[in-house]
Amino acid sequence: MTQVTPTRLSDGRELIYFDASEEAAALHRDPAAVADSRGLPPRGGTGDVRYDPLTGEWTAVAAHRQTRTHLPPADQCPLCPSTAGNLSEVPASDYEVVVFENRFSSFGPALGELPDLQPASTGWGTTTTAFGRCEVVAFDSSHEGSFGSLPPERARTVVEAWAHRTEALSAMEGIRQVFPFENRGADIGVTLLHPHGQIYAYPFVPPRAALMGQAARRYFDAVDGRGTLMGSVLKSERESGERMVLEGAHFSAYVPFAARWPLEVHLVPHRHVPDIAALTGEEKDELTTLYLDLLARVDGIYSTPTPYIAAWHQAPLVPDLREAGYLHLQLTSPRRAEDKLKFLAGSEAAMGAFINDTTPEQVAATLRAATPAGKVTA
């Protein structure tokens, strides 16, 4: 059973230890062992969001993030446990999994509601507080790695942390979307080598989540609530089998029929649930196993680790969209060959119209042939 121990950093930010072992939990219950001795100044204020009347979208303005840490050496890593020579963001001398408020947050720490813009107004010039919260999830105390390099027991604790934080953030004022994700690799823009992910709690439903939410709602209404769009797609993919990668008792992974990226896999629960917090213990256990298997196969395609974005799409916290929403992971990579990356150029960046350089069927076959040990067998 995962033990949860909250504390505060010296600038007031919340930090939470997640421990599967009693030994680690006992360490983190000792106030002296987790005291942040850095004496940080009070954290700065919340940034802004600006409304784009041409799209109806909000853009965060977070210029303070320009000064965030960039690829520090191991002895200066802010996610490693603290030592006498490196007082990091994690005061304890060791940890299993830890979550804390991002020092360079795009949203928050203030919470609140965004203004309700009237249809007859363009909304031009509307600037307001970037309400919300951004958290860092350090997967392990080791300096290098990613989720896929974790031992199963540690990965399972991360899944429990995701569930805990999803539930807690969803209950906060003004939050409309909770988004756990992992950016992996320098080609994605990662600024810390330490194995970690993030969680964004947005004060609005982000554009892609809104688009998927609206499509899911239309389908849900069309079938009078007797099924879900994601559930129907999953059923079709499993019956076809052409793009399937992994199938378990509770989860399946497949390359989507209309994949946008050279490497794209969806990991989907068989049961309709809105978010990670709604999963049962058995479902979390299998999720851990299948996800580690999938990541090993992704790394088995090429001779070097594959850059990716692992994005957990959870149902928005808006009643009209939440009812039809369906938890799933979308893992995408811009890597289209051993030494080639796909860049978002004119069609993708300007028009949002993707052109895939690979076929989903061939990608699925390649992933099926890759073993969890990371070697291609056929």
CATH annotation of 3-204: 3.30.428.10
**Predicted pLDDT of residue 372:** 58
Domains 3-204 and 208-369 equal at CATH topology level? yes
**Predicted pLDDT of residue 126:** 96
Q: Annotated catalytic sites, by residue?
A: 196
pTM listed for this prediction: 0.96
224 Rama class: left (phi>0) / alpha (psi -120 to 50) / beta: left
Q: Say if residues 258 and 367 touch (Cβ distance below 8 Å).
A: no
Give per-10-residue mean pLDDT for the chain (378 aa).
97 98 97 96 91 96 77 92 97 98 95 92 94 98 96 98 98 98 92 94 98 98 98 98 98 98 98 98 98 97 95 97 98 95 94 96 97 49
Parse the chain into domains and list their residue ranges: 3-204, 208-369
Tokens of 46: 């919340």
Residues in contact with 369: Cβ distance below 8 Å, sequence separation at least 6, in sequence order: 376, 377, 378
CATH annotation of 208-369: 3.30.428.10
